[in-house]
């Protein structure tokens, strides 16, 4: 009897989505695209990191995550979409209570959301379709994925996005060392992209981490394989790491910095065209060596323990978050 019920559920899960559910997914995608387009067309100076901005960010993340959950027929789709509906309705009437929205506009704007929420709560067909669970599968292969594995490229995109933001914070920390006189350089407190926008992505730092994964980590492994004493590999690894990361900065400098002058090392010792300098090259070598020998292997091993569906869900949510941040600065370019 249980086997028959299980087969019935599998057949139901493979069926087509109801028209209303397909309409919902289309609306979610349209909302996401419109939100990104609006941000692209808006100057950063016209937006503040306030309740309005972050409520839009949360909505977009929820919409994208919900569309993924429905597409993958996940059980979590029902509670997530119901929660989104309830939150949207509650926020609308809080705005009415605060006097920022007319009650007629609030009712009109939440009717569809309320109906969809009721539909998800009561529809047996929807619940029959959503049969997959995050715990349906074992964790991935616990070895670090290779370039032949699609998971490797998914993780690589995630690394780029995360370390574009973290790289901004590293840049700010380095500027504080300059201000304290620990290292040479110029400190500019009026740099709004650095000090005002802590979520401003710095693509060169994300690209640097990607180069560590694609080039420098395999090179480190090759050195350890061919050297009798593995620990000695850190010396040539450091040299190559510094050269590669300095080359990345030079490429960005020649393509971007010559137009916007985001940095200028003309006053630094052993600089080249004001785009790179010896001090920063050594710093890049230290940072990339720590990444290739410690940070990346640790992250890759930890992620390998996470089920694929969980990581895919995190990937969708964070990519949407990063897309909104990056879209916010495109007009300034």
pLDDT, average across residues 84-110: 74
pLDDT given at position 234 = 92
pLDDT tier at 287, thresholds 50, 70, 90: very high
d(CA 119, CA 115): 6
DSSP 35: H
Instruction: Give how far the C-alpha of residue 292 lies from the chain's centroid of Cα atoms, to the nearest Å.
Output: 21
Q: Provide, rounded to the nearest whole percent, the portion of the chain with pLDDT above 90.
A: 22
User: Is residue 165 within 8 Å of residue 199, measured between CB atoms?
Assistant: yes
For helices 150-179 and 308-330, give the axis angle rounded to 10 degrees: 50
pLDDT tens figures, 223-267:
998 887 877 889 999 999 999 999 988 988 888 776 667 778 888
> What is the pTM for the complete model shown?
0.81
Residue 191: per-residue pLDDT: 65
pLDDT, residue 142, reads: 67
277 φ/ψ angles, rounded to the nearest 5 degrees:
-150, 165
As a whole number of angstroms, the distance between CA 240 and CA 265 comes to: 22
pLDDT beyond 70 at 139: no
pLDDT at 14: 54
Phi, psi of 227 (to 5 degrees): -105, 140
Supply the pLDDT for residue 1: 41
197: confidence class by pLDDT, cuts 50, 70, 90: confident
- What does the pLDDT read at residue 105? 66
pLDDT at 328 over 50: yes
Q: Provide the pLDDT for residue 3.
A: 46
Q: What percent of the chain has pLDDT over 70?
A: 86
Residue 279 pLDDT > 50? yes
């Amino acid at each position: 009897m249980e086997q028959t019920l299980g087969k019935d559920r599998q057949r139901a899960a493979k069926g087509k989505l109801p028209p209303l559910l397909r309409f919902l997914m289309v609306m979610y995608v349209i909302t996401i695209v419109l939100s990104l387009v609006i941000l692209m067309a808006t100057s950063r100076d016209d937006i503040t990191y306030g309740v309005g901005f972050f409520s839009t960010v949360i909505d977009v993340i929820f919409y994208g995550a919900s569309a993924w959950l429905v597409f993958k027929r996940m059980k979590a789709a029902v509670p997530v979409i119901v929660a989104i509906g309830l939150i949207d309705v509650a926020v609308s009437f809080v705005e009415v209570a605060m006097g920022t929205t007319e009650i007629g506009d609030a009712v009109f704007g939440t009717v569809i959301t309320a109906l969809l929420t009721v539909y998800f709560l009561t529809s047996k067909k929807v619940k029959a379709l959503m049969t997959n669970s995050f715990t349906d599968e074992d964790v991935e292969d616990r070895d670090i994925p290779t370039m032949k594995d699609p998971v490797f490229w998914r993780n690589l995109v995630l690394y780029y996005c995360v370390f574009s933001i973290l790289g901004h914070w590293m840049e700010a920390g380095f500027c504080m060392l300059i201000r304290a006189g620990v290292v040479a350089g110029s400190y500019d407190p009026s740099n709004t992209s650095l000090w005002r926008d802590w979520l401003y992505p710095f693509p060169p730092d994300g690209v640097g981490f990607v180069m560590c994964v694609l080039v420098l980590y395999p090179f480190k492994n090759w050195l350890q394989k061919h050297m009798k004493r593995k620990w000695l590999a850190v010396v040539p690894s450091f040299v190559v790491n510094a050269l590669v990361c300095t080359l990345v900065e030079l490429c960005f400098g020649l393509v971007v910095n010559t137009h916007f002058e985001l940095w200028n090392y003309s006053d630094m010792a052993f600089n080249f065209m004001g785009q790179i300098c010896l001090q920063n090259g050594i710093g890049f070598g230290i940072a990339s060596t720590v990444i290739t020998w410690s940070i990346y292997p640790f992250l890759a091993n930890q992620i390998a323990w996470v089920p694929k569906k969980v990581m895919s869900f995190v990937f969708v949510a964070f990519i949407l978050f990063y897309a909104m941040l990056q879209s916010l600065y495109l007009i300034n370019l």
